Amino acid sequence: MSTQPSIQHFSTGIVPSGMRFDYWMSILRQSLWPVSEWREIHDFTVDLAEASFGCLTSMTETISAHQSYRTRSDVEHSGDRCYLLFANQLPWQVVHNGHNENYLRGDSVLVDSQGELETCAPSGFHGRIVKLPVSWLHSWLPEPELLVGRRIAGDSKWGQVFSPIVSQITPEFVAASPIPQSILVDQVGALLALIAGDSEAKALPDLIKRIQNCLRERCSEPQLTATDLAASLKVQPRLLHRALAANSLTFASLLLDTRVAVALEMLASPAFNKLALTEVARRSGFLSEAHFARAVRKRTGRTPLELRLSAR
């Protein structure tokens, strides 16, 4: 390891070829996080430089072709939570937070250290990594999930501004920055907030569909809460409620409507003719048959038994 003022350099070039991978694993745990599973590695080489600017850390990394998978065990053995912004100048694929995206030169992706991560870099990685503290990112993005794992396209409205800035945030630049580091830090935060704003506008309609689909799958759980559903969808509860409110809905009303809809399907289906009404209520998520009957009658004007008989 060699050191310049404020800059650290790491390279597999200083160790024998047979020791390069183990050397990199130790550096990876120190500078980023543990990643235990690697595939498609040939002539493995890595060069990494890093420097802090304000509360953020800038890294330039060049690594040979590989596939890697950051497992749940890796997550559990990590240190303090953080976010990482990756900007690869080479095409690669990233699977994270329920998203599977292909990235081109100029694209970026925000990654959460508490999530599993799979990457495929057939041409390797050559680009920037910016390490972001949790408290700092949350001060700019109350809902980081809007961006985590999603492709920030370099040719998008804000991506056209963001991509050139990220590409210039090298350790050498921040160590001798011509502008105060606090201004550079705020610029990164402000642009991420603008990108997240656009992402939220696009994500809310899609989120409503995901909420509805997930409710149908889980409405049979009598104690289901909005927090439970948000966890399944990997979003914050306040974002779930915001999406519902934008469509004049509440979680309680949508849950009840979903349970009634599921019950009505069973009452109308010959496949459930021999199923007791108590069991229909249970499978629909109602705590009691009486509650079930009241909800069905309120929405249809008829009792569950009347609906079953009319279906026959």
pLDDT at 206 over 50: yes
Would the pLDDT of 3 be above 60?
no
- For 2-202, give the CATH class: mainly beta
pLDDT at 146: 80
Q: What is the mean pLDDT of residues 199-221?
A: 86
Give mean pLDDT, residues 261-267. 93
3-class DSSP state of 294: helix
DSSP track, 195-256: HHHHHHHHHHHHHHHHHHHHHHHHTT-TT--HHHHHHHHTS-HHHHHHHHHHTT--HHHHHH
Q: Is pLDDT above 80 for 199?
A: no
Judged against a pLDDT cut of 60, whether residue 148 lies above it is answered with yes
Asked if residue 1 has pLDDT above 70, the reply is no
Residue type, 150: R
Question: Residues 219-228: what's their mean pLDDT?
Answer: 93
Q: How far apart are CA 96 and CA 149, in angstroms?
A: 5
| Strand pairing category for 37-39 and 56-63 | unpaired
Kindly state the average pLDDT of the residues 168-188: 90
Distance from C-alpha of 183 to C-alpha of 41, rounded to nearest angstrom? 40
For residue 95, what are its two tokens? 């699977």
Distance of CA 55 to CAs 9, 132, 147, 161, 174, Å? 19, 8, 20, 22, 12
Mean pLDDT of 163-191: 91
Tell me which CATH homologous superfamily contains domain 219-312.
Homeodomain-like (1.10.10.60)
Tell whether the model's pLDDT for residue 310 goes beyond 80: yes
* Backbone Cα Rg of the chain: 25
Q: Compute the mean pLDDT over every residue in the chain, rounded to the nearest whole number.
A: 90
Confidence check: pLDDT of 184 > 70: yes
User: Which has the minimum average pLDDT: 217-226, 239-248, 282-291?
Assistant: 239-248
Q: What's the rounded mean pLDDT across residues 244-273?
A: 90
The 10s digit of each residue's pLDDT in 83-125 is 999 999 999 999 998 899 999 999 999 999 999 999 999 999 9
pLDDT at 192 over 90: yes
267-274: long-range contacts at Cβ-Cβ below 8 A with a sequence spacing of 24 or more? 267/304, 267/307, 267/308, 267/311, 268/307, 268/308, 268/311, 269/311, 273/308, 273/312
CA distance linking residue 84 with residue 32, whole number of Å: 9
List % helix, strand, coil for the chain (3-state, nearest 5): 50, 25, 30
pLDDT at 217 over 90: yes
d(CA 269, CA 281): 15
Other CB atoms closer than 10 Å to residue 129's CB: what's the count? 22
Return the domain boundaries, the chain: 2-202, 219-312
On the question of pLDDT at 4 being above 70, the answer is no
* % of the chain surpassing 90 pLDDT: 63
Please tell me whether the overall predicted TM-score, pTM, comes out greater than 0.85 for this model. Answer: no
- Which residues share a beta bridge with 129? 59, 86
Locate tokens 């599993």: which residue?
Answer: 116
Share of the chain above pLDDT 70, in %: 97
Alpha-carbon distance of 296 to 307, in angstroms, equals 9
pLDDT tens per residue, range 5-53 = 489 999 998 988 888 888 888 888 877 888 989 998 888 899 999 999 9
Contact 86, 169 (CB under 8 A): no
Q: Give mean pLDDT, residues 196-216.
A: 83
Tell me what the mean pLDDT of segment 43-66 comes to. 93
Taking the C-alpha atoms of residue 251 and residue 207, their distance in angstroms, rounded to an integer, is 13
